[in-house]
Amino acid sequence: MNLTFREKIIEKAISMGASKVGFAKLENFLPDNFSHLKTGISIIVRLSDQIMNDVVDKPTHTYFHHYRTVNFLIDQITLAITIMIQNEGYLAMAIPASQTVKTKTDAYTGIFQHKTVATLAGLGWIGKNACLVTEEFGPRIRLGTVLTNMILPYDEPIRNSKCGNCNICVKKCPALALKGNNWYQGMDRDALIDAFACSSYMSEQYKDIGRGSVCGLCISSCPKGTKIIRK
């Protein structure tokens, strides 16, 4: 069977541990320095349900380790895809799985938002917890992204929240950082979350667990994607 290049990318990512892969048309969503990289490949790696189930009132050391390990795996997958594409003669770059780049206007963002690519690739919506929420695994996932100038068949974007009237994560947040609004494409992050309140709470309360950089309560409390848990 002859696979298309899109199918080869999916096959490679899944063989390395990805749970879902999507392709996004990024035109009009890219900053000037990346405007020629019109295709975004979004990679999802599912988190361990057992580890997330143990995040009840605070993060665990195991969760912090898992978070870092999955980020490392995502960086390996997106690097492998970058190499595949570059070998075909196109430009490609992996966005780091977890990296914050302080700018003059935003201290809590990366060089390009994985969530933007994932929603445009139809992999999920942005929940009231400000995380990507998927139908299959809820927000119990981590994300990676490859940007490229290779044109590939695109998936249909998701443009609106499917959280509905649910407010579980909003009530669970100990920092009162979540604002309870339903996301739509183009919505400002500040309308969903007070990123400063979230970050300050983590660094004050969880310094002994993951040096205050993880929490996870708004992820573990979400009922989406937990139906297939087998106990």
Asked if 198 interacts with ligand SF4 (CB under 6 A), we say yes
Q: Please select the residue that binds ligand SF4; options are 127, 132, 158, 210, rule is CB under 6 A.
A: 127
CA pseudo-torsion sign 46, 49, 54, 55:
positive
The region of 2-10, 70-78, 80-88, 197-205 touching ligand SF4 under the rule CB under 6 A is 197-205
Q: Is there a contact between 80 and 16 (Cβ–Cβ < 8 Å)?
A: yes
Total binding residues toward ligand SF4, as defined by CB under 6 A: 24
Q: Please select the residue that binds ligand SF4; options are 48, 166, 189, 226, rule is CB under 6 A.
A: 166
Asked if 93 interacts with ligand SF4 (CB under 6 A), we say no
Q: Please select the residue that binds ligand SF4; options are 29, 63, 64, 201, rule is CB under 6 A.
A: 201
Task: Tokens 């490229």: give the residue.
Answer: 148
* Rounded-to-integer distance, Cα 40 and Cα 22, Å: 8
CB of 5 to ligand SF4, least distance (A): 34
Counted residue by residue, the chain has a size of 231
* Rounded-to-integer distance, Cα 68 and Cα 93, Å: 21
- DSSP for 167-195 reads -HHHHH-TT--B--PPPBTT--GGGTB-H
- DSSP for 111-131 reads SS-HHHHHHHTTS-EE-TTSS
* Rg of the chain in Å (alpha carbons): 17
Asked if 20 interacts with ligand SF4 (CB under 6 A), we say no
Tell me the residue nearest to ligand SF4 as measured from the CB. 127
Asked if 217 interacts with ligand SF4 (CB under 6 A), we say yes
Q: Please select the residue that binds ligand SF4; options are 24, 177, 192, 209, rule is CB under 6 A.
A: 177
Q: Please select the residue that binds ligand SF4; options are 97, 118, 121, 175, rule is CB under 6 A.
A: 175
Question: Under the rule (CB under 6 A), what is the footprint of ligand SF4?
Answer: 127-129, 133, 139, 163, 166-169, 173-175, 177-178, 193, 198, 201-202, 215, 217-218, 222, 224
